[in-house]
Amino acid sequence: MSMTIEAIRKIYTLPFFELIVEAQKTLRENFTPNSIHLSTLLNIKMGTCPENCGYCSQSVHYASNIDPYKFLSKSEILEKAQTAKQNGATRFCLAAAWRGPTNGQIDVLSDIISDIKKMGLDSCVSLGLLKSGQAEKLKSAGLDYYNHNLNTSKDHYKNIATTHTFEDRLATIKKVQDANINLCCGGILGMGETEDDRLSMLHTLAQLPTPPKSVSINLLTPMPGTPLENEPKINLLEAARLIATARILFPNSFVRLSGGRDKLNQTEQAWCYMAGINSIHFGSEYLLTEYTALPSAESDLTFLKSLGLTPLSEKACQKRCEKEC
Ligand code: SF4
């Protein structure tokens, strides 16, 4: 029986500490306690994107001060993948700023994905809207994950982007899941949405035929020059509630803290781990653009160690797999 928004709200509005304890219980029942999954994200094509997502400094519609670049070469990408592996990442994700890839770009990326797999890394791509047949091609190349976030609720989506719709995003998610590729999907908090919008986004995720294997939680970094440049910083307790609710709703999924982690101090990050985060993007100079510089891999690893969190591969993190694999 699928969960209603009201049932999700009941979890979200639990007394705060009850919610956090419940989220930790869920995490420990399904994953190796004190483990963390590390993924490195590389932006392989920055800026000049024709879409108008209001949070994004890579859109051509906004005068953000980024330094765009074209598609990185295969050797540059594989070199970064090697570094990610040396740093301890077990997943390597490629993101590109465009509406969606051409079939030619899918061919080039398929070749790169199979080389990333040969390095022993899980592969992930975030390539925007897919056309028919493209997901199947990526699957044949061995792609493990496709990232495509809902970002926000269906109702709020029109306030965030108008060059594509919420339904367009759902159509790409369907293509990914129909091709049997694991889905990485979540949203961005702090884009002027209401509590109802946040819960509705989780509800849409919970309605998918298969839950996302990774749920990505991003905290908005207001980018200069974008329509959301003056949005206030999100209240961390609200973010922790949302993270804990996602953890309970998706007990077997990695819940990943992605965008905005660089703007949190270590105590704030520890609260996110306490609420149920068990995966982060780490180990690159910045997440997608210069506005989102990440801590160095070394400093992240030192901090994780101080919390007693051990980086583990996806399979080693999952308790069920510990017993069955
Ligand atoms: S979020 Fe992606 S699709 Fe939207 S403007 Fe930025 S790069 Fe383009």
CATH code of the domain covering residue 213 = 3.20.20.70
Q: Minimal CA–CA distance to 121: which of 143, 141, 98, 92?
A: 92
User: Using the 8-state DSSP alphabet, how is residue 250 labeled?
Assistant: S
The answer to whether 176 and 143 have CB atoms below 8 angstroms apart is no
Residue 321 lies inside a defined structural domain of this protein:
no
Q: Supply the range of the domain harboring residue 45.
A: 5-315
Nearest-atom index, ligand 1, CA of 51: 5
Task: Give the C-alpha separation, 176 to 144, whole Å.
Answer: 11
Q: Which residue has the tokens 């690159």?
A: 284
Task: Give the C-alpha separation, 268 to 274, whole Å.
Answer: 10
User: Using the 8-state DSSP alphabet, how is residue 59 labeled?
Assistant: B
Q: How far is the CA of 52 from the centre of ligand 1 (A)?
A: 7
| pLDDT at residue 207 in the model | 95
Nearest-atom index, ligand 1, CA of 288: 7
Mean pLDDT by 10 residues, the chain (325 residues): 88 98 96 92 90 92 82 92 92 94 95 94 96 96 96 96 96 97 96 96 96 95 91 94 98 93 92 96 75 82 94 77 50
Q: How far is the CA of 156 from the centre of ligand 1 (A)?
A: 17
| pLDDT at residue 325 in the model | 44
Q: Minimal CA–CA distance to 276: which of 321, 319, 215?
A: 215
Catalytic residues: 49, 53, 56, 93, 124, 184, 256
Which residues are within 8 A (CB) of 174 and not within 5 positions of it... i.e. 6 or more apart? Answer: none
Residue 11 lies inside a defined structural domain of this protein:
yes
| pLDDT at residue 102 in the model | 94
Residue 120 lies inside a defined structural domain of this protein:
yes
Pocket probe for ligand 1: among 43, 44, 46, 56, the residue whose CB has the most ligand atoms within 8 Å is 56
Residue 324 lies inside a defined structural domain of this protein:
no
Instruction: Count structural domains, the chain.
Output: 1
Residue 325 lies inside a defined structural domain of this protein:
no
Q: How far is the CA of 313 from the centre of ligand 1 (A)?
A: 29
Pocket of ligand 1 (CB under 6 A): 49, 51, 53, 56, 58-59, 97, 128
Burial 209-221 (b: 16+ CB within 10 A, else e): eebbbbbbbbbbb
